């Protein structure tokens, strides 16, 4: 058992899988000698060589596009996009090619690639380093969107993503990279994709979140428990395809739901979850669903980022409100 940070867990998963499967290769900007700007690929170059750990030119579209070609020819590329704000040029390749290659060739060609990128605010980074683009990718048919919220889940879900035969966008909450350590075995055991994780059982309200916001949701649940309000806590983990069953069961039990995410509220993935609850469980609800999200503003520079991100107090307040409204 090792006690690791989230970024170390990512590194262990990459190392494990490159060791196990020689088709796995890593490519991206500064992933080689530098070991990635966040050190997620640290040590891979010396261990696996420059043919399997590729420092690429600064060309995000071509990184994703080359990964499509590699994947179609039987490699398992894990492409790193250095910062979340630079991921948008890859969307062309993900929407138009990676996500649909299997479908449009009736399974003749497939695209088992992983596109990894840090995401989210909270580390006092410069502009274009703090975005949460998960809903954009989740809207694309044929692609998986995975966001871990702890080192153990980062390890297990990244292994699963690399082994998955289809394209996966794997977003790593930058704020959690070194926020805390977690003990788990580096044994190559993958965690299931397409599955929500119930982090804590509770009877009064369901708190649904993913990525870094899970951390604040947990702290809010702690605070509420001290007031005698017991929130069930769900980490969505794989946004697409969504394990709605787990959320549904929880909401049917608690009758209340607060969805927490850092991405802007409008058209965010929280809207999808809320809509599905309305479609399938509106009569189980004791109070209107509430969303605590980033505001519909440009992610601010560091001096205001705390005000942008869902805080423990905003989340706790939303839960208190749904309790009062019922």
Partner 1 sequence: MSVGFRIDYLQLLSPSGELREAAEEAGWNADVLRSLYQAMTRTRVFDAKAVALQRTGQLGTFASALGQEAIGVGTAYAMHPDDLLVPSYRDHAAQLLRGVTMAEILLYWGGDERGSDFKNARRDFPNCVPVATQVAHAVGAAYAFRLRKEKRAVVCFIGDGGTGNGAFYEALNMAGVWKAPVVIVINNNGWAISTPRARECAAETLAQKAFGAGVEGRQIDGNDVLSVYKAAQQALEKAREGDGPTLIEAVSYRLGDHTTADDATRYRSPDEVKEAWTREPIGRLRAFLAGKRLWDKEKEDALQRRCAREVEEAVATYASTPPRGCEAMFDYLFHSLPASMKDQLEEARRFDPVRRNGHG
The smaller minimum CB distance to partner 1, of residues 195 and 317, is found at: 195
> What is the full DSSP assignment across 97-109?
IITTHHHHTTTSS
The smaller minimum CB distance to partner 1, of residues 6 and 79, is found at: 79
Closest distance between partner 1 and the C-beta of residue 16, in Å? 20
Q: In the chain, where does DSSP find H-type helix?
A: 6-20, 44-48, 60-72, 88-93, 101-104, 134-138, 151-163, 213-226, 244-254, 269-281, 305-308, 312-324
The smaller minimum CB distance to partner 1, of residues 32 and 310, is found at: 32
CA distance 266 to 268: 5
The smaller minimum CB distance to partner 1, of residues 25 and 199, is found at: 25
Reported for 249-254, long-range contacts at CB under 8 A and 24+ positions apart, including other chains, are 250/198, 250/206, 251/206, 251/277, 251/281, 251/284, 251/285, 252/281, 252/284, 253/203, 253/206, 254/202, 254/203, 254/204, 254/205, 254/206
From residue 92, give the alpha-carbon distance in Å to each of 25, 32, 97. Answer: 22, 25, 8
CA distance 321 to 315: 10
Active-site annotation holds for 124: no
28: left (phi over 0), alpha (psi -120 to 50) or beta: left
The residues binding partner 1 (CB under 8 A) are 25, 51-52, 54, 56-57, 59, 61-62, 64-75, 77, 92-93, 96-97, 101-110, 141-142, 164-166, 194, 241-245
Closest distance between partner 1 and the C-beta of residue 111, in Å? 10
Closest distance between partner 1 and the C-beta of residue 311, in Å? 31
The smaller minimum CB distance to partner 1, of residues 12 and 97, is found at: 97
Enter the DSSP assignment of 94.
I
CA distance 319 to 259: 10
The smaller minimum CB distance to partner 1, of residues 27 and 259, is found at: 27
Closest distance between partner 1 and the C-beta of residue 271, in Å? 17
Q: Cα-flanking dihedrals φ and ψ of residue 211, to 5°?
A: 65, -145
CA distance 218 to 130: 21
Closest distance between partner 1 and the C-beta of residue 33, in Å? 15
Interacting residues of 30 by C-beta distance below 8 A, sequence separation 6+: 36, 37, 55, 82
Closest distance between partner 1 and the C-beta of residue 58, in Å? 9
| Catalytic entry in 97, 129, 215, 261 | 129
Which residues are tagged catalytic?
Answer: 129
């Amino acid at each position: 058992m090792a006690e690791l940070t989230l970024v170390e867990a990512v590194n262990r998963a990459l190392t494990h899988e490159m060791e196990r499967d020689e088709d796995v290769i890593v490519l991206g900007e500064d992933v080689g000698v530098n070991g990635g700007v966040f050190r997620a690929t640290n040590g891979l170059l010396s261990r696996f060589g420059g043919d399997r750990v590729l420092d690429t030119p600064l060309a995000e579209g071509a990184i994703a596009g080359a990964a499509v070609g590699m994947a179609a020819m039987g490699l398992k590329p894990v492409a790193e996009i250095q910062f979340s704000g630079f991921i948008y040029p890859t969307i062309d390749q993900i929407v138009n090619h990676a996500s649909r290659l299997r479908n449009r060739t009736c399974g003749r060609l497939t695209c088992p690639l992983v596109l990894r990128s840090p995401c989210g605010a909270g580390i006092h980074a410069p502009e274009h380093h703090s975005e949460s683009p998960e809903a954009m990718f989740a809207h694309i048919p044929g692609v998986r969107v995975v966001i871990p919220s702890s080192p153990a889940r980062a390890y297990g879900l990244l292994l699963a993503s690399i082994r998955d035969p289809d394209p996966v966008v794997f977003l790593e909450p930058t704020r959690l990279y070194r926020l805390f350590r977690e003990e788990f075995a580096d044994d190559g055991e993958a965690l299931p994709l397409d599955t929500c994780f119930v982090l804590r059982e509770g009877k009064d309200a369901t708190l649904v979140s993913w990525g870094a916001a899970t951390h604040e949701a947990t702290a809010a649940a702690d605070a509420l428990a001290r007031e005698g309000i017991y929130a069930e806590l769900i980490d969505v983990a794989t946004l697409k395809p969504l394990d709605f069953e787990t959320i549904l069961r929880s909401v049917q039990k608690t009758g209340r739901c607060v969805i927490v995410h850092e991405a802007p509220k409008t058209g965010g993935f929280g809207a999808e979850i809320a809509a599905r609850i309305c479609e399938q469980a509106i009569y189980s609800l004791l109070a209107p669903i509430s969303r605590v999200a980033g505001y519909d503003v440009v992610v601010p520079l560091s001096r205001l980022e705390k005000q942008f991100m869902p805080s423990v107090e905003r989340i706790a307040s939303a839960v208190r409100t749904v309790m009062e409204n019922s």
